[in-house]
Amino acid sequence: MNSELQLPPFVYRILPWIAAFAFFMQSLDTSILNTALPTMAKDLNESPLNMQSAVISYALTLALFIPVSGFLSDKFGTRNIFVMAVSLFTLGSLLCALSNSLIFLDISRVIQGIGGSMMVPISRLVLIKSFKRSDFLAALNTATIPGLIGPVLGPVLGGYLVDVVSWHWVFFINLPIGILGVIISWKYMPNLKGEHMPFDLFGFIFIVIAFISATLSVEVLNQNQTYDFPLLLAVISFVFLIIYYGYAKKKPTPLFPLSLFKIHTFKIGIIGNLICRLGISGVPFLIPLLLQVGFGYSAIFAGVMLMPMAIASICTRIFIPRILARLGYRFVLVANTILAGIMIVLMSLLNLSTPLILISLLLFCIGGINSMQYTAMNSITLANLEKENTSSGNSLMAVNQQLAISFGTGFGAVLLRLISNSASTIHAFQLTFVILGVVTVLSSIIFAQLKNEDGKNLITHRQEIRR
């Protein structure tokens, strides 16, 4: 809550849960679809390999529309754009469920992606603008936990729906959630607007080309054995980032002002988020594969084995604000990042004779540590954004997170593929986990650049008293 904004107490209680439902819908949709793709391919008379276009079309749509979410919400209001985004996501889900061909499905995924690209950034923007900085951490903490549960619940729920009902319910399940979200957000979400700036068309084009090229490079790399085309796409992305940098230095009001990187906590949060997720984002992708391909468990059983991660995410939420208040952001992020890397390395010790209780315990620890990591990284990135750069900074963080998740998953997949060429399946998984763990540990060097006082403005007065 800032000095210009006073909302009813009930609204402050419900806003984090509106954001939470947006986080959950988006993360669940991404993870639940992968389980259903083989069955969908058979029903639509397509090769399973062709079905990746449904994933790529959604990813590219996110790349196209995330950068403009801040501009649109500033101009038309947060509630108006958020309701439109949830409506489009829900409509896209319905059309996906009704699809009878791959092209119809791809078009429906684009519609779904337009909504999905703006739901999370705008709901998070409302929290930034509505809450005092000292209350923002608790609000963001509540909002982000369902986003951690989605990737864990998705494979289990997807496998169940495909086996017991039909793949259509993978999308139908979004309809009641989306309709309820539209009703509640229209009634309770404030329609906040920002300072009206002219739209930076050229900056948008440069950023979108860079973002789409980077996203495509990862998707193509995941689907093909050759590396020439993905490398070319990566080079194109880098070149257009350089072009944007030169352009933004001269532009009075660029899409993403370079002055954002003069904010110490924002710069470290963005870079740390990107590098850290390179290690930890591949783990949720690799664990189900290890359990199924390496250990021979069924898809449903592998999904159930991931439940300790979701349980830990929920349990940890209670303690995150207190831990950050007592130990500080710098200490927590450095120590937790190292701990996250160690937990990933410990995954390399698992084998067929490892008791299930030990596997569950390790996954529980990983879930809790990841929950702490995401909340701390996200909140410190947004901690010192002010009015004039809140929307653009929040949108840039959303772009960065999307890239980081794609890069992390792609990095893990490529490592596994390369190592598998010269090692047994289980040994390939083990080496992959070791490399990802080392990368994660090394990313703690970035968070070590934080100052001890960074993030103090996110600690509530009540928490300070408890100290």
Band of residue 3 on the pLDDT scale cut at 50, 70, 90: very low
Spatial separation of the C-alpha atoms in residues 345 and 340, rounded to whole Å: 9
Higher pLDDT, 52 or 383: 383
Tell me what percent of the chain is helix, strand and coil, each rounded to the nearest 5. Answer: 80, 0, 20
- For 283, the token pair is 């783990």
Spatial separation of the C-alpha atoms in residues 169 and 175, rounded to whole Å: 10
Candidates 150, 139, 76; CA nearest to 116 is 150
Whether the per-residue pLDDT at 4 is higher than 50: the answer is: no
Candidates 27, 67, 130, 24; CA nearest to 393 is 67
> Domain 1-200 adopts which CATH fold?
Growth Hormone; Chain: A; (1.20.1250)
pLDDT tens string 38-73: 788 888 888 766 777 787 888 888 878 988 888 899
pLDDT tens string 204-225: 999 999 988 988 888 787 766 6
CB atoms near residue 114 (< 10 Å) = 20
Query: Which residue type is seen at 453?
Result: E
Query: Which numeric CATH code is attached to 256-467?
Result: 1.20.1250.20
Give mean pLDDT, residues 388-395. 86
pLDDT of residue 225: 63
The sign of the torsion formed by the CA atoms of 410, 412, 417, 418 equals positive
Band of residue 461 on the pLDDT scale cut at 50, 70, 90: very low
Spatial separation of the C-alpha atoms in residues 245 and 295, rounded to whole Å: 47
DSSP output for 392-447: HHHHHHHHHHHHHHHHHHHHHHHHHHHHHTTS-HHHHHHHHHHHHHHHHHHTHHHH
pLDDT tens string 238-259: 999 999 999 999 998 898 999 9
Q: Which residues neighbour 431 within 8 Å (Cβ) at sequence distance 6 or greater? A: 348, 415, 419, 423
Whether the per-residue pLDDT at 163 is higher than 90: the answer is: no
pLDDT of residue 48: 67
Spatial separation of the C-alpha atoms in residues 291 and 298, rounded to whole Å: 8
Candidates 131, 90, 79, 141; CA nearest to 112 is 90
φ and ψ of 39, to 5 deg: -65, -40
The CA–CA distances, whole Å, from 301 to 9, 138, 169, 368 equal 43, 34, 20, 21
DSSP 386: -
Task: Decide if 379 contacts 265 (C-beta within 8 A).
Answer: no
Task: Decide if 431 contacts 349 (C-beta within 8 A).
Answer: no
Spatial separation of the C-alpha atoms in residues 143 and 148, rounded to whole Å: 10
The CA–CA distances, whole Å, from 238 to 192, 206, 208, 415 equal 34, 11, 12, 22
C-alpha of 311 from chain center: 19
- For 229, the token pair is 């085309």
The sign of the torsion formed by the CA atoms of 437, 276, 370, 211 equals negative
In the chain, the percentage of residues whose pLDDT exceeds 90 is 42
Spatial separation of the C-alpha atoms in residues 32 and 167, rounded to whole Å: 10
Task: Decide if 274 contacts 403 (C-beta within 8 A).
Answer: yes
DSSP output for 134-166: HHHHHHHHHHHHHHHHHHHHHHHHHHHHHHHS-
DSSP 266: H
Residue ranges of domains in the chain:
1-200, 206-252, 256-467
Whether the per-residue pLDDT at 295 is higher than 60: the answer is: yes
